[in-house]
Structure 1
């Protein structure tokens, strides 16, 4: 069988596609991906067999290409970093194709952290963007905030099933109902990061209730406190 790659193509701007991913895509024969993801790398797809999929038909597409791949190279691109928030799909690709080479990309999580000046090494990163139950993740969010961490979070859009829909408005309501003082909690919400449609909301968590955001949203609960190396200069002395 030919080579199979799962690659991260960044948050949305072609400028955030790494050189190694560009090279892999350009040298591939078949590319299977979601519409938004394919749009990011459309300048690299000339001469390729391109299959656009949705959540409902991706399994059928993978199963169809499996016996037809031969010695050709297949690339499955993922928005952002393939190692974050896509494990369910990657696990399925491994079940179908066996050996899948994973190549990381730049995640919207990294970009959101940089723009909000909230360091990843002092934050908890949580994704609700999964199909499995998220009750444990909700408790993880509560604990992280109580413990004073900043939280960088990917919400879960599921408009057709309101009980599973967990976007900024629902998250704000959930926290309020669980005793958090959302009127005094600072939050950033980014949409369509790195693209021409990028937006940035900064305010209090309470202001999110009833407010709609797109599927391409990332939240940053900002509890960061400056703590530079100057606070530890006593360690420099012999």
Structure 2
């Protein structure tokens, strides 16, 4: 009987691949994934049957492997954590393969929050990285900021469709147009987290207007304050 695993391999560095995920990958027969994700686990997939996919051909690859999977073990690795910002793909995998075991990984969201020293339990985590409408998510962003929460956010790169492109610059314009004082909102933008290419931008949301960042970026709007146990 076939076994299918969807696993998170961390933000980019092989050091962030958990032990259980390494074990699953090393004991599988087939791997299907995007180039960036496969690069993260390159040392673990040598000798495996590997299918490198893009958004254009992923459906074809899933269908082709499903027909001949037999009793083999298949792994579909995801950058970061499978359970965050990947639900559209995971739902499709379940439709194609049936029973899919999900093994979480370390998300760029966690790493970004840690580097910005913004606790997740005092923040709202929002992903715009979906193909469906993000209008409700935009309202969720506004409400979170009004309510005083910090926000850890994954933007949406869609340069070929400008009206759907919602990266840091577009977010900054959107908030300013909706009445927020973006000169007072502190922000961090992290690119290529945990890799040798990692960068960090620190400033205000207003500073993001006109700036371009990588598709592999996370932003943190910091509204947190210290609330240690000694103060209560």
State the TM-score, normalized to the length of structure 1: 0.97
SS of the residue corresponding to residue 184 of structure 1 reads coil
Q: Which residue of 2 aligns with 1:146?
A: 146
1:158-205 Cα distance to aligned partner (Å, 9 max, x none)? 010000000000000000000000011100000000000000000010
1:51-75 Cα distance to aligned partner (Å, 9 max, x none)? 0000111000000000100010000
Distance 1:31 1:98 in 2: 17
Distance 1:218 1:94 in 2: 28
State the TM-score, normalized to the length of structure 2: 0.99
Distance 2:131 2:34 in 1: 17
Deviation of the 1:97 alpha carbon: 0.6
Distance 1:22 1:124 in 2: 30
Deviation of the 1:15 alpha carbon: 0.1
Q: Which residue of 1 aligns with 2:123?
A: 123
Q: Which residue of 2 aligns with 1:44?
A: 44
Distance 1:94 1:64 in 2: 15
Q: Which residue of 2 aligns with 1:192?
A: 192
Matched, 1:171 2:186: no
Q: Which residue of 2 aligns with 1:76?
A: 76
Show the 5 A alignment for 1:1-238. Answer: 1-232=1-232
Deviation of the 1:30 alpha carbon: 0.3
Q: Between Structure 1 and Structure 2, how many residues are aligned?
A: 232
Distance 1:229 1:184 in 2: 27
* Unaligned runs of at least 5 residues, structure 2: none
Distance 1:63 1:85 in 2: 22
Q: Which residue of 2 aligns with 1:235?
A: none
Deviation of the 1:21 alpha carbon: 0.3
Deviation of the 1:231 alpha carbon: 1.7
* Unaligned runs of at least 5 residues, structure 1: 233-238
Deviating beyond 4 angstroms after TM superposition, the runs of 4 or more aligned structure 1 residues are none
Q: Which residue of 2 aligns with 1:236?
A: none
CA RMSD of aligned residues (A): 0.5
1:136-157 Cα distance to aligned partner (Å, 9 max, x none)? 0000000000000000000000
